[in-house]
Structure 1
């Protein structure tokens, strides 16, 4: 499901999700918040019921992840893969995922450590991201030294590597 939040008002979203039944098959969910400055209104019961009842295993969020959005997505019970793109990793913590993809994002190592530990992340993939330690940009190798003790599988990819979520067809932007 892909909704353009720029052209969708709260009433339309509530109505749409009220009439959609969550599918039983495994689902991917993409939320593109890029360029969106307004408040997201996800608190309606129909939205929560849809996400809680769905079998969403892969979530892709492009843009800034607000606490309200993170709390809502945390209601998805079967998240396996979470991709954050063009985002800044903050203290907002999503629960219940195994694999984390940070795509063209910016984050502090200590925030990432807390996120990995809180979710027992098994696979971390960092792609073309800015990594900081105490507000100073550090190299990927320095970051690996600081997080390798808490995550068993870490990949750091650069511009010459393919985007690791390119295979997530519904999420891929050309």
Structure 2
């Protein structure tokens, strides 16, 4: 058993980063969006509250997806779905730096129609283009927290022309 978090939450996201487990966002028992995060330290069996970790995130509707996050090279990245924007987290200042636009329409389904994952030293985003059709497109980039615009490459041999449902409920990546 581990100690409980400071805030009860549902529809949150979690990841391992620099030896700790982080939980971001979600909604409280009144369905209000939480902008705080928490990090769990296994050596002390304690949670540290991180106030305003998502203070700059735009919440459009109550049923918005959990935060879309991924870790690459010990950096935490987030797809800010309402703006289709990639951001990287500065753990020392509690600030998300903007890294440009992601080439999918995460905003049209409030984040539910998009998958955002890490794979080795790359970020992958699965979604639809900025047009009205629902054809699946997979993009990849090697993110750099020091570059303002990332270079996204379309992976044409993945999901070639497959029609996407309006919601992606779960997405796993496996590679050998």
Which protein has the bigger strand share? Answer: 2
Normalised to the residue count of structure 2, the TM-score between the two structures is: 0.29
Normalised to the residue count of structure 1, the TM-score between the two structures is: 0.29
Which protein has the bigger helix share? Answer: 1
